[in-house]
Amino acid sequence: MTSVLESLNQGLHAAFAQDARVYLIGEDLLDPYGGAFKVSRNLSTQYPDRVWTSPVSEAAIAGVGAGMALRGLRPVVELMFGDFSTLVADQLINSITKFPAMYNGAAQVPVVIRTPMGGRRGYGPTHSQTLEKLYLGVPGLRVLAPNTLSDPGDLLRRAILEQNDPVLFVENKVLYPKQVLDNAALADFEIQASTQDFAPTHTLRLKGAPRPALTLTAYGYMAELAREALTRLAFEHEIFCELVVPTQLAPLPAGGGLQPALQASLQHSGRLLTIEEGTYSLGWGAEQLARAAQHFGGRLQAARRVAAAEAPIPAARNLEDAALPTLEDIISAAREMV
Amino acid sequence: MSDDAALYTQLATIRRFEETVLDAFPKGAFYGTTHTYIGQEANAAGVLAHLHDGDLVFSNHRCHGHFLAYGGDARALFAELMGKATGVCGGIGGSQHLHWKNFYSNGVLGSTAPIAVGAALAEKRKGSQAVTVLFLGDGAMGEGVVYESLNIASLWGAPVLFVVENNHIAQTTPTELAMAGSLAGRFAAFNIPAVELDSSDAREIYAAAGQEFAQLRSTPGPRALILHTARFGPHSKGDDTRDPAFIEELRATRDPLTIHGARLEESERTAIEAEVDSAIAAAYAQAEADPLPEHAAYVKAGY
């Protein structure tokens, strides 16, 4: 078995091996350290001239990556914590994603900015956030969030080598030690895999379960909790759910439509519970629910969100547990909907 | 054409273009805003005359002069300001957001700095001989990312010429209210060799820039050229808060066209001016007649 961390590391190594235009820029990248979360381990040893450990200058390294991408290279920029993405917001919003469109299609900026997000590690208010919602809806930005249902490293490799759009690649840090699931680990589930653009979406239901009464949707680490909730809801409460797990958070289908896998699931469940680690209001879940309401109108019988509290993520363990969405939150929200 | 005549043609082209913009704006020919380069023409003309094929230029909100001196087409620039399909960026970019060949401009001060450094490093890694010119104003020197970029450019040996055009005023704020220390000191802090010049003489600027380019092409690492200059026009259209008498004095003492024009025979100078006037008028007329972009296609493409 391979962990998410190992898979991502392998994906980077594969991208470097496959294409000499791939570079990595970030803080504390050099071996033996290999980046704060070790996703970049052994790269600086194998590719010393293509791995550039940088000053603590997030805005500049994002901009340097953008300039390299503009001139035909395939740079990856590692931000040590997703919380620091705010320092990069100007580059991301006013340059990286602007150039292709505002230069009328005459420029491409194929840079991948990858960063860990998320809490449950006790790092406190500025090292635990799930901030990707700030960047969802920025025109021209592809936001990807891997999970354990398919190979995170392969998604990263393809984002680096095959995508001409700028990509924000969001890695929930609690996912790093989790195993990428194989068929044996998922033996209880009937799984449908589909593709949105080039990123996989998975739809899960328990084998032999009756028609689902509720659709759960979650990405990243929250998909782990949602999968566990799906099992417990079936065995403990006889509530049968389907779980839709996208890896592409943005862009969503043009014209306000739902992702096809989510639409297909809602077609027979008629109820939608969105589950995210970002804060509750104005977020990813809100957009899914809005699209569901727009598409299904009165046929959408129930709609709810499970998300983080609208407060800084506290450092104390019991407070952090209270601020972030839990398995129990998902189960109780689901029970209230069916 | 002699070098002096070529330089004068460049200066006159930028001047005439910008005067046409300011004249036509109140008549409703353009939409939005603009930032003209009147008074600073010698910088673009003197610096960019040294470009080789393949060199890169990153410019800012006040980019028309840079674009024209780079070799950009006046009709395409007028069309861009008019929001026409034939504009440099099909009417999407407008006055501040231009890209043609290896010329890029953007409207957020300082945000181009790391991008220019990254582009220069990419060219170096690719083994091209291209160097990169980044135009910054005194106003942009208030942005933190500029200093991150100077640090990285110096550390990683990026072949960038940082050209700071200090026109002594950022929109309406005099530099002395916005800048502690000196411009030269800023580059010295990062071990970036800097040459400083207080001139509106295109020939002087051309000579100083020539030395900088020669160094840049032969020795590794970035360099800086600090050009103290004078902006005769407003920041954008009608927002000049300076004493008109002061601007008159600037025009009398620091006009690049007067200074450099004095080197030419009057007949040659007036012939160049007449030629430039008619070329700019023709470019304007062509742009005016050009079609609007297809708005339905833009939205559909989604970008």
Mind telling me how many Å the CA of B201 is from chain A's nearest CA? 33
- Predicted local distance difference test score (pLDDT) of residue A193: 97
Pairing assessment for the beta strands B160-166 and A271-279 based on DSSP bridges: unpaired
Q: Which one of B148, B154, B190 makes the best mutation probe of the A interface by having the most chain A beta carbons within 10 Å? A: B148
What does the pLDDT look like over B235-246, one tens digit per residue? 888 889 999 999
Residues B25, B31, B34: CA angle, nearest 5 degrees: 65
pLDDT tens digits, residue range A93-149?
Answer: 999 999 999 999 999 999 999 999 999 999 999 999 999 999 999 999 999 999 999
Within-domain flag for B294: no
Q: Report chain B's mean pLDDT, rounded to a whole number.
A: 96
Check the CA dihedral B204-B209-B211-B212 and report its sign. positive
CATH code of the domain covering residue B24 = 3.40.50.970
Please tell me if the domain spanning A4-172 has the same topology as the one spanning A189-337. Answer: yes
Residues B50-54, mean pLDDT to the nearest whole number: 98
Q: Give A264: exposed, middle or buried? Use CB within 10 Å, 0-12, 13-18, 19+.
A: middle
B contacts of A251 (beta carbons < 8 Å): 302
Residue extents of the structural domains in chain A = 4-172, 189-337
- Note the ipTM here: 0.96
Question: Using one digit for the tens of pLDDT, what is the confidence trace for A55-79?
Answer: 999 999 999 999 999 999 999 999 9
> Which superfamily does A4-172 belong to?
Thiamin diphosphate (ThDP)-binding fold, Pyr/PP domains (3.40.50.970)
pLDDT of residue A62: 98
| pLDDT at B238 (0 to 100) | 81
Task: Please name the residue that has the structure tokens 């403990």.
Answer: A236
Q: B77 CB near a chain A CB, below 8 Å? A: no
CA atoms within 13 A on the CB side of B231: 26
User: How many structural domains comprise chain B?
Assistant: 1
Q: Please say if the pLDDT value at position B301 is more than 60.
A: no
Could you tell me if residue B57 is inside a domain?
A: yes
Strand partners, B194: B224
Determine contact, residues B260/B254, Cβ cutoff 8 Å: no
Closest A-chain CA to B88: A103
Which pLDDT score is estimated for A196?
86
Q: Which of A102, A138, A141, A142 to mutate to test the interface with B (most CBs of B within 10 A)?
A: A102
Tell how far CA B159 is from the center of its chain. 19
Structure tokens at B206: 């051309």
- Token digits of residue B188: 């010295």
Interface test with chain B among A21, A68, A141, by most B beta carbons within 10 Å: A68
Better pLDDT: B265 or B303: B265
Peptide bond into B244 cis (omega under 30): no
Q: What is the pLDDT of residue B300?
A: 58
Q: Specify if B297 maps to a domain.
A: no
Per-residue exposure over B239-249, b if at least 16 CB sit within 10 Å of its own CB, e if not: ebeeeeeebee
Task: Give the mean model confidence (pLDDT) for residues B1-22.
Answer: 95
CA pair distance A179, A325, nearest whole angstrom: 22
Check B156 against A139: CB less than 8 A apart. Answer: no
Mean pLDDT of B195-203: 98
Nearest CA in chain B to A253: B302
pLDDT at B25 (0 to 100):
92
* A140 vs B: CB within 8 A: yes
Averaged over successive runs of 10 residues, the pLDDT of chain A (338 residues) comes to 97 98 98 96 98 98 98 98 98 98 96 98 97 97 97 98 97 98 96 93 97 98 98 98 98 93 98 98 98 97 98 97 98 98
Q: How far is the C-alpha of A112 from the C-alpha of A159, rounded, in Å?
A: 7
The answer to whether B27 faces chain A, any CB pair under 8 Å, is no
Model pLDDT, residue B303? 40
- For chain A, say whether B97 makes contact (Cβ under 8 Å): yes
Strand, coil or helix: A335: helix
CATH level 3 topology of A189-337:
Rossmann fold (3.40.50)
Beta-carbon-side half-sphere exposure of residue B11 (alpha carbons within 13 Å):
28
